[in-house]
Structure 1
């Protein structure tokens, strides 16, 4: 496969699969079946105030409180699982955490022994308390999700959230499991945003974010993509982290900056060398040639050098 073809596949894969419209729970008839996921949208005609998308008494059973209660407005919207696939108690798991490193990945960059995967693995093991990595799969097959999360040094956003719909070859046991909660999908209006803002303790239940919602929220266009969230200030420091920042020689400085709640500095020569090494090398060589020509003169020109050694 050509590099252009692989890039196209990667870009397509990030979009997951098309979402579908669901009925709004609050407006549904009492005898209507409860959907696995719903896209609740406010009515512009009625001008009704924002409220929780779930109608009291009609929602599915709530998950255990530890799975959704957390004072951070973003963390409480996540449904995380550990390396064994078990749901995570947010307060316990993140009690010492200052940084969340969101790692958007797919089968196209699943070689965790090298590249971005190796860098994230090293960071996760070097800072197991201050930083937690959250893997966000943009694949459409659960097998790829399990391969990327089983026994890895990171957490993951839950797979069964409605992000990935069955493909033609996915039937029966291979089909994605149905969500047990009403996850926000890409394009959904977050009617619970005002509820989150009013509940500083983070104890009330609000609709969680799906994987595809997070990808849409952070404008993820390809994998791998890294984003850093600072819990003390409740803001994203970087939404497209340059991998060079995580290399061993620069990791300690990068972590110091992030732990202070500051974004990474703008791109420099080291970042450029890591991203496009051959291009930078050619530019540097051209600059050296021009300097030599200015200092030495015509005898340092390419024709003169060729004639001398031929």
Structure 2
């Protein structure tokens, strides 16, 4: 678990804003769709159970507008869930264009996240978006999370009164196992754990979302596990194993183990006799 730290000067007298026993929530610096900071995590998320963490960017956004509509419908309908947008862009304007008209929460942009620009931004001075840091806090960056310099233990509560460093957008994408955008993870607040990562966008389609949400609220995952794959393919795998054993028996035991031609010849002989 992360060790408690001194409260940054900008937060003295305000550290209670981020009091939460949840190891993820207490490390998020969030804003409402209006852009205003969420000033009391415990109060705002008191009745919330599910966090849908959506890592996205302006690049390719036009191709997933139907998913955005589904996610917006989900956020408006399910009051016990929150959709949190995690921008991987390098310019705040890019994130704002994606978020325009969306009722989602968003992680604060000014956290020194070290995302490399995709292509060449229109604004040549793109690095200006990396210089201002919200509230003077030292955000956890991707490299620190990846190397385990700051270890976050999920599945248990933490002391909500201890101040810990907040996660940057880049740091959160490491926890989400983001390889490309869009990338969606589902987090369960009651059990303080990730239920699923790299969730399919189709999970939020009208024909799927209610079933999936019921599963998530129950603290169960919708991800396909190795055991699920094995269970669904067990007969195929059994036949594959038998075929391999048959091949090995012929190769090392000799032609006397090649029973299939003998069986086929016997069947042909019986058919000939019947005629």
Provide the TM-score with structure 2 as the length reference: 0.68
Give, in angstroms, the shift of residue 242 of structure 1: 1.2
Residue 169 in structure 1 maps to residue 124 in structure 2: yes
Distance 1:123 1:256 in 2: 13
Which residue number in structure 1 is paired with residue 186 of structure 2?
Answer: 228
Give, in angstroms, the shift of residue 258 of structure 1: 0.6
Runs of 5+ consecutive residues of structure 2 not aligned to the other structure:
118-122, 226-275
Which residue number in structure 1 is paired with residue 242 of structure 2?
Answer: none
The answer (yes or no) to whether the contact 2:155–2:193 under 8 Å persists in 1 is: no
Report the 3-state secondary structure (helix = DSSP H, G, I; strand = E; otherwise coil) of the residue aligned with 2:180.
coil
Provide the TM-score with structure 1 as the length reference: 0.61
The answer (yes or no) to whether the contact 1:192–1:207 under 8 Å persists in 2 is: no
Structure index of larger Rg = 2
Report the 3-state secondary structure (helix = DSSP H, G, I; strand = E; otherwise coil) of the residue aligned with 2:69.
helix
Question: Residues 256 and 175 from structure 1, CA distance in 2 versus in 1: closer, same or farther, beyond 3 angstroms?
Answer: closer
Distance 2:100 2:176 in 1: 25
User: Which residue, out of 151, 169, 183, partners 2:139?
Assistant: 183
Residue 118 in structure 1 maps to residue 69 in structure 2: yes
Distance 2:140 2:88 in 1: 15
Report the 3-state secondary structure (helix = DSSP H, G, I; strand = E; otherwise coil) of the residue aligned with 2:141.
coil
Question: Residues 158 and 112 from structure 1, CA distance in 2 versus in 1: closer, same or farther, beyond 3 angstroms?
Answer: farther
Give, in angstroms, the shift of residue 149 of structure 1: 2.8
Distance 2:109 2:218 in 1: 32
Which residue number in structure 1 is paired with residue 202 of structure 2?
Answer: 244
CA RMSD after TM alignment: 3.0
Which residue number in structure 1 is paired with residue 171 of structure 2?
Answer: 213
Deviates more, 1:146-155 or 1:212-221: 146-155
The answer (yes or no) to whether the contact 2:115–2:170 under 8 Å persists in 1 is: no
Which residue number in structure 2 is paired with residue 97 of structure 1?
Answer: 48
Runs of 5+ consecutive residues of structure 1 not aligned to the other structure:
1-48, 268-310
Question: Residues 258 and 50 from structure 1, CA distance in 2 versus in 1: closer, same or farther, beyond 3 angstroms?
Answer: closer
Give, in angstroms, the shift of residue 106 of structure 1: 0.2
Q: How many residues align?
A: 213
Question: Residues 115 and 72 from structure 1, CA distance in 2 versus in 1: closer, same or farther, beyond 3 angstroms?
Answer: same
Q: Which is richer in helix?
A: 2
Residue 83 in structure 1 maps to residue 33 in structure 2: yes
Which residue number in structure 2 is paired with residue 61 of structure 1?
Answer: 10
User: Which residue, out of 79, 82, 101, partners 1:132?
Assistant: 82
